[in-house]
Amino acid sequence: MGDFIPSNSLNVLPPYCRDKACLVSTELWKEAIKQSFINTHKDLFEGKMNASTVVITFVFLSMNSSSAKFSFPNINLQQLLKQLLCIVNSDSVLYQEEDLRPYECDALSAYQQLPFIVVLPETTEQIQKILQLCNKIDLPVVARGAGTGLSGGALPYAKGLLLSLAKLNKIITIDQQLQTAIVQPGVRNLAISEAVSHLGLYYAPDPSSQIACTIGGNVAENSGGVHCLKYGLTVHNIQQLKIVTIEGELITIGGNGLDSPGYDLLALLTGSEGMLGIIVEVTVKLLPKPEHIQTLLAAFDNAVNAGKAVANIISAGIIPAGLEMMDKLAVKAAEDFVHAGYPVEAEAILICELDGIEEEVRQQVIAVQNILLANAAIEVRIAKDEQERVNFWKGRKNAFPAVGRLSADYYCMDGTIPRKHLPQVLQTMAEMSKSYDLAVANVFHAGDGNLHPLILYDGSKVGELEKAEEFGGKILELCIAVGGTITGEHGVGMEKLKQMCVQFNLAELKQFHAVKAAFDPKALLNPGKAVPSLHRCAELGAMHVHHGKLPHPELERF
Amino acid sequence: MENKDISEQLKNTVQLSLNNKEKLIIKGGNSKHFYGRTPAGKTLNIAEHQGIINYEPSELVITVRAGTKLKDIEALLAKNNQMLAFEPPAFSDHATIGGTIACNLSGPRRAYTGAARDYVLGTKIINGQAEILSFGGEVMKNVAGYDVSRLITGAMGTLGVLLEISLKVVPKPETEITLVHNCTAEQALVKLQQWSVLPLPITASCFYQDQLNIRLSGSEKAINTIQQSLGGEVLNEVNAFWYSVKEQTHPFFDKEKNLWRVSTASNTPITTKNKDSFYEWGGALRWIKVDISIDKIPDSLNGHITLFRSPAIKNEVFQPLPKHLLQKHRNLKQAFDPQGIFNIGRMYPEF
């Protein structure tokens, strides 16, 4: 794919960037970066901090259009370093290419970009000062936690500062009485549950990357997991946030009680993908561990029956803690990888976890077993002990890497659909898989309708990534068509900007931009992500059309 | 229940008000007119905009027009053995779902299953530029775009007119019982805290004048077992009791006096006298009849206060916001309602 620079940055940059437009090739631009590092190193090693300054004119090329062209104001690396070193220690600033390399992408590695500079602050005060500086000199800021995001949300900005929150990794307090923990943004999701386990408590949202992903990133993406049908998403499990605004102000959002005065900024900030503020502290709610957990695994000889079983379980008034589906390819891949003992001959399997009071769980297990059998399950297993329960989950939790073994690369999608459309969507995906000649493995949070189709491709084959992306885009558009959404829990990031133009009309996108401007008028925070520019949507022609009329005929089209 | 879509008419009225530089007061069933400050402007009545747009019990979602009566929605859900998990107070038979969501008021179940905002999946609104916009949707997980639907929940109509709302619904519990313990307020808080760290199916709690009531919900067998371990007397007339708490028809709620709502950390020490205080949500919600100065909130309060009801004309109702936070509120108001036409002065003097 090469260097990916969003055309939509056009719209969110300060006006002067658009005026001084010039156009060079991507190759020239790469060369400019290379030169900048050579010069930088030379100056620094020779101790000539004030000698030649590195001046780079960054030129942005759109992947889809050559009409988008503009440049940023010049940035002086030495001067920036000098200013940053007044705020943080020298080992907290990275600017040499080999040090920047680990930050060039998040878990969506198809998008890569070296940042201009990386800063790893250790305190909130440092973050405030860094943001004040960035705001003063119009330097874009991209926040990064563990970099496990799947939508390119933490993709660096070529002419921007990458703010790694990895060093803010302390659990500040655990309050057993209130069942809350106050943590810094770089604390890992699983580390919270581990730290409170001895109190009989845990933190409910459990994204599959929970070993590595951080709570700051979870809040920024409103992460879910396999248990959100019953326990909700991140937005349902946090109580207070401290954020630093682009102006460097520290703001507390939420409260010590269950609500706070004014607008629900806690909800607005959750899932805002680093576009509105930098999260520097999170108060999470903790839950008592359930008294009893029981897990069933059912095999079906067709996915439609599995889908019907899911609807019938919910209709029976049972809300399982987790209800997951895997198709044949995903089951086989998982089995080959972790040997969980999955029925590999099945067309689809369901894993259903029930938790709560022991008596209630026992009753529900019987009810669910009957529903599964009534929907023509060819086999139903009930975990007889903790070991077997863990085994049932082992295959599911390793499904992504397992599928990764089948193919050179895979592309993980994240649409959500109303559950009733599952058979139709699976059928259409199977047909698209044939026409694109790319295999798809399906892993599915069946309880809440969140699909994770994994498209298998080989990035070393010319054109195959583009084909996979196009296929993925079609899947997302299918999700919208049946009344769903393009992203259930991975976020829009860089990846789904195009589909945002399909899901939302221009007036809605304009409203999003206005929300962004309420927090970040100069659009310095994570520019070019999450919400596409109106230009981009107009350019793509993939516009949301209401009643056959283009919204905002007054807008200029490109 | 009526089935009528007046969204175009409402949109046109908003456009007309924009043209004429008039302000609008959004009104549903007028059941919560006592709540908040008193705005100025012409009335925009949404009560006629009624009807169920989509309800499929197995999807756990209902989409309704904002003027639909809360009691009609609750009756339809009950027929399908489902309910709104946040147990919203209605304060009148005329209460609409639009007003309920605009106020984000939640009942006794809130501390245990979440607030109205936790169940809002999507909204269709008219913004302050007379544009009809949709955010969120009908699915449980949706992170495309900013969460405008939850932002607008509880914004008291200051950011836009709610037209449609999609809500997650939940199954009704098989059984509910209420247990009564006689104890002091301090003892009640200790008990509630001890229970809160255990996996118990508590779905409501309330303390008033030496009496702690807790409600358990779940399967009959499970409830029986828990009841034995928790002790206490079983209360008859369970529904009537919790109804009186939710709708504030309980004798504590004396409409002749100022009623303050204190939202606080559940372990905040007790400072008020027994007869003047009514506790809910495991101690995190406290209704107080002693006057508090809204500009001088002591730190020991550990939360925020609202002048929920007052027989007199109210000046400030909601606790003042810190400077930077207030600025963000102003900016957001500007983002949704740049000409400032919706419910101006309902929340704070400026918006």
Written as six digits, the tokens of B216 are: 């358990």
Tell me: do B40 and B159 sit in the same domain: yes
Best CA proximity match to B123, nearest among B102, B106, B108 = B102
What are B247's two structure tokens?
């709708």
Contacts of A224 in chain B (CB under 8 A): 141
Q: Which chain B positions have a beta carbon within 8 Å of A308's beta carbon?
A: none
Measured between CB atoms, which of B118, B127, B198 is closest to A232? B118
Of B290, B257, B256, the C-alpha closest to B273 is B290
Interface test with B, best of A128, A198, A245, A256 (most B CBs within 10 A): A256
**B127 → closest Cβ in A449, A488, A511:** A511
Whether B341 maps to a domain, the answer reads no
Q: Give φ, ψ of A121 to 5 degrees.
A: -70, 160
Residue A310 phi/psi, 5° resolution? Answer: -60, -50
Per-residue pLDDT band for A40 (boundaries 50, 70, 90) equals very low
From residue A216, alpha-carbon distances to A142, A178, A213, A273, B124 in Å are: 13, 21, 9, 10, 30
| Cβ distance of A512 and B118 shorter than 8 Å | no
Average pLDDT, whole number, for chain A? 85
Judgement on whether residues B59 and B31 belong to the same structural domain of the protein = yes
Compute the nearest-CA separation of A65 from chain B (Å): 24
Count of structural domains, chain B: 2
Q: Is the pLDDT assigned to residue A48 strictly greater than 80?
A: no
Ramachandran class of A259: left when φ > 0, alpha when ψ lies in -120 to 50, beta otherwise: beta
pTM over 0.80: yes
B127 and B185 both lie in a single domain: no
Do A418 and B219 count as a contact with CB atoms less than 8 A apart?
no
Is B52 exposed, middle or buried, given 0-12, 13-18 or 19+ CB atoms closer than 10 A? middle
- The dihedral through the CA atoms of A310, A313, A319, A320 has a sign that is negative
Of residues A235, A264, A450, nearest to B154 (C-beta): A264
Nearest CA in chain B to A266: B151
| Pick from A264, A174, A163, A257: nearest CA to A216 | A163
Measured between beta carbons, the chain A residues lying within 8 angstroms of B146 are 268, 271-272, 275-276, 512, 515-516, 531
Q: How far is the alpha carbon of A47 from chain B, nearest alpha carbon, in Å?
A: 42
Q: In whole angstroms, give the CA distance from residue B282 to residue B204.
A: 8
Q: In 10 A of CB A337, how many CB atoms?
A: 18
Helix (H) or strand (E) run with residue A201 in it: strand A201-202
Quick check: is B318 in a domain?
no
Instruction: Give the H or E element holding residue A142.
Output: strand A141-144
CA A88 – CA A124 distance, rounded (Å): 11
Closest CA to B100 of B126, B68, B130: B68
How far, in Å, are A206, A435, B175, B307 from residue A528 at the CA level? Answer: 28, 32, 51, 43
Q: What is the mean pLDDT of chain B?
A: 95
Q: Which residues of B touch A177 (CB under 8 A)?
A: 193, 196-197, 266-267
Q: Express each pLDDT in A168-198 by its tens digit.
A: 999 999 999 999 999 999 999 999 999 999 9
Residues of chain B contacting A245 with CB distance shorter than 8 Å: 324, 328
**Is the Cβ pair B325, A252 closer than 8 Å?**
yes
Chain B nearest CA to A109, separation (Å): 21
What percent of chain B shows pLDDT beyond 70? 100
- Same structural domain for residues B162 and B249? no
CA A167-A172-A174 angle, 5° bins: 140
> Is B291 inside a domain boundary?
yes
Q: How confident is the model at residue A557 (pLDDT cuts 50, 70, 90)?
A: very low
- CB contact under 8 Å between A258 and B171, yes or no, is no
Q: What are φ and ψ of residue A469, in 5° steps?
A: -65, -40
Distance between CA atoms of A152 and A144, rounded to whole angstroms? 11
Give the count of beta carbons closer than 10 Å to the beta carbon of residue B335. 21
> Beta strand B175-182 with B211-218: parallel, antiparallel or unpaired?
antiparallel
Cβ contacts from A onto B, under 8 A? 257
Examine the domain organization and report whether B133 and B191 are in the same domain: no
Q: How far is A520 from chain B (nearest CA, A)?
A: 10
Residues B150, B89 within the same domain:
yes
Contacts of B137 in chain A (CB under 8 A): 483-485
Contacts of A488 in chain B (CB under 8 A): 139, 141-143
Q: Do B140 and A416 touch (CB under 8 A)?
A: yes
Q: Please indicate, yes or no, if residue B278 is contained in any of the structural domains.
A: yes
Residues of B in contact with A517 (CB under 8 A): 331, 335
Give percent helix, percent strand, percent coil of chain A, each to the nearest 5: 40, 20, 40
Q: Is A83 exposed, middle or buried (0-12, 13-18, 19+ CB in 10 A)?
A: middle
Q: What is the pLDDT of residues B83-133, one digit of tens each?
A: 999 999 999 999 999 999 999 999 999 999 999 999 999 999 999 999 999
Where are the strands (E) in A222-291, listed by range?
A: 238-244, 250-254, 278-285, 287-288
Chain A hits for B284, CB-CB cut-off 8 Å, are: 257-258
**Interface residue of B135, B146, B223, B330 to substitute, partner A, most A CBs within 10 Å:** B146
State the pLDDT confidence band at B2, using cuts at 50, 70 and 90: confident
Contact A356 B222 (CB under 8 A): yes
Is residue B23 domain-shared with residue B144, that is, in the same domain?
A: yes
A58 pLDDT higher than 80: no
The domain that contains B133 carries what CATH number? 3.30.465.10
- Give tens-digit pLDDT for A469-504: 999 999 999 999 999 999 999 999 999 999 999 999
Given the DSSP bridges, would you call strands B161-168 and B120-126 parallel, antiparallel or unpaired? antiparallel
- Tell me if A296 sits within 8 A of A338, measured CB to CB: no
Q: Using CA of residue B277, residue B280, residue B283, residue B285, what is the dihedral sign?
A: negative
For residue B99, what is the enclosing H or E element?
helix B97-103
- Is residue A138 within 8 A of residue A91, CB to CB? The reply is no
Q: What are the pLDDT digits (tens) for A393-446?
A: 999 988 888 998 989 999 999 999 998 898 889 899 999 999 999 999 999 899
Amino acid letter at A177? Q
**Are the Cβ atoms of A519 and B137 closer than 8 angstroms?**
no
Contact B259, B253 (CB under 8 A): yes
| Half-sphere exposure at residue B20, Cβ-oriented, CA atoms within 13 angstroms | 11
Q: Which 3-state string (H, E, C) describes B16-72?
A: HHHHHCCCEEEECCCCCCCCCCCCCCEEEECCCCECEEEEEHHHCEEEEECCCEHHH
Average pLDDT score over residue span A494-522:
96
DSSP A75-93: --HHHHHHHHHTTS-GGGE
The shortest CB-CB distance from B267 to any of A177, A272, A489 is to A177
Has residue A72 got a pLDDT over 70?
no
pLDDT at B87: 98
Does B276 score more than 50 pLDDT? yes
What is the pLDDT at residue A63?
Answer: 33
Give the per-residue pLDDT at B65: 98
Contact A270, A238 (CB under 8 A): yes
Q: Which residues on chain A are in Cβ contact (under 8 Å) with B222?
A: 356-360
Domain range enclosing B256: 175-309
Exposure string of A511-521, with b = 16+ CB inside 10 Å and e = fewer, is bbbbbbebbbe
Lowest-confidence segment of A263-277, A393-407, B133-147, B212-226 by average pLDDT: A393-407
Clarify whether residues B53 and B182 are in a common domain: no
| Spatial distance between the Cα atoms of A306 and A316, rounded to a whole number of angstroms | 15
CB-CB contact of A133 with A75 (8 Å) = no
Pick the range with the lowest mean pLDDT from A51-60, B81-90, B244-253, B314-323. A51-60
Q: Is A306 helix (H, G, I), strand (E, B) or coil?
A: helix
Cα–Cα distance, A87 to A300 (Å, whole number): 60
CB contact under 8 A, A508 and B133: yes
Same domain, B99 and B129: yes
Same domain, B117 and B37: yes
Backbone angles phi, psi at B318, to 5 degrees: -105, 150
**Per-residue model confidence as pLDDT tens digits over A102-129:** 999 999 988 999 999 999 999 999 999 9
- The nearest alpha carbon in chain A to B158 belongs to A263
Q: Which of A238, A263, A371 to mutate to test the interface with B (most CBs of B within 10 A)?
A: A263
- Give dist(CA A473, CA A385) in Å, integer: 42
Give the whole-angstrom CA distance, residue A200 versus residue A197.
Answer: 5
Exposed, middle or buried, B312 (CB in 10 Å: 0-12/13-18/19+)? Answer: exposed
Q: How long, in residues, is chain A?
A: 558
Nearest to A357 among B144, B154, B222 (CB): B222
Provide the shortest C-alpha distance from residue B240 to chain A (in Å).
Answer: 24
What is the mean pLDDT of the segment spanning B149-177?
Answer: 97
Asked if the structure places residue B343 within a domain, the reply is: no
Under an 8 A CB cutoff, do A514 and B198 touch? no
Q: Is residue B344 part of a domain?
A: no
Residues B164 and B27 in one domain: yes
Which is higher by pLDDT, B282 or B314?
A: B282
Contacts with A403 (C-beta within 8 Å, 6 or more apart), sequence order: A329, A330, A333, A334, A410, A441, A443, A454, A456
Nearest by CB: B334 against A268, A356, A518: A518
Indicate yes or no: CB of A485 within 8 angstroms of CB of B155.
no
Mutate to test the interface with B, among A360, A413, A444, A452 (most CBs of B within 10 A): A360
- Whether residue A4 is predicted with pLDDT greater than 50 in this model: the reply is no
Give the CA distances from residue B29 to residues A401, A548, B23, B52, B89, in Å, rounded to whole numbers and listed in that order: 54, 35, 19, 17, 13
Closest residue in B to A221 (Cα) is B143
Contacts of A489 in chain B (CB under 8 A): 141, 143
What's the number of CA atoms in the CB half-sphere (13 Å) around residue A546?
13
**Residue B348, in any domain of the structure:** no
Please determine, for residue A14, whether its predicted confidence score (pLDDT) is greater than 70. no
List the single best residue of B14, B142, B149, B301 to mutate versus A (max A Cβ within 10 A): B142
Neighbouring residues of A159: CB distance < 8 A, sequence distance ≥ 6: A56, A58, A72, A75, A116, A139, A140
Q: DSSP state, A394? A: H
B238 and B268 fall within a common domain = yes
To the nearest whole angstrom, how far is the Cα of A269 from the nearest Cα of chain B?
8
- Number of CB atoms found within 10 A of residue B111's CB: 23
The residue-averaged pLDDT of A82-91 equals: 97
Residue B325 lies inside a defined structural domain of this protein: no
